[in-house]
Amino acid sequence: MATDMAQLIGYRVEASDGHIGKIDRHSEYVGRQFVVVDTGPWIFGRSVVVPATLVARVDDEAQTVHLAATKDEIKDSPDFESGQHDDDVAFIRLVEQYYANRHM
């Protein structure tokens, strides 16, 4: 993805079937980029990690990121706890595996 993920902080996030929250922050490891989405009250204020590969398109004018995932797929993703998983490569691999296997 060519977009600088840091520029997306604060953007509204839309799953393929509706609104899920706002981008809280981004991170990247070598060869891996992802965003942390604050879901607000939608799923009890939970934060979720979404790999950048799921960003289908970015609408800069509307400040909205559209994901290639459903609300249920996002809701069922592994729990993210700030401070606990921030630099946890094993957790990032777990998230990547979850999204890679979601169509099975």
Instruction: Give the whole-angstrom CA distance, residue 23 versus residue 4.
Output: 13
> What are the respective helix, strand and coil percentages of the chain, to the nearest 5?
25, 35, 35
Instruction: Give the whole-angstrom CA distance, residue 83 versus residue 39.
Output: 17
Q: pLDDT of 18-49, one tens digit each?
A: 999 999 887 766 567 888 898 877 667 788 88
Residue 78 has what pLDDT? 81
Instruction: Give the whole-angstrom CA distance, residue 80 versus residue 51.
Output: 13
Domains of the chain and CATH, by start: 5-100 (2.30.30.240)
Q: What is the pTM of this model?
A: 0.80
Instruction: Give the whole-angstrom CA distance, residue 50 versus residue 53.
Output: 8
- Residue 1 confidence class, pLDDT cut points 50, 70, 90: very low
Write out the H or E segment, with its range, that includes residue 97: helix 89-100
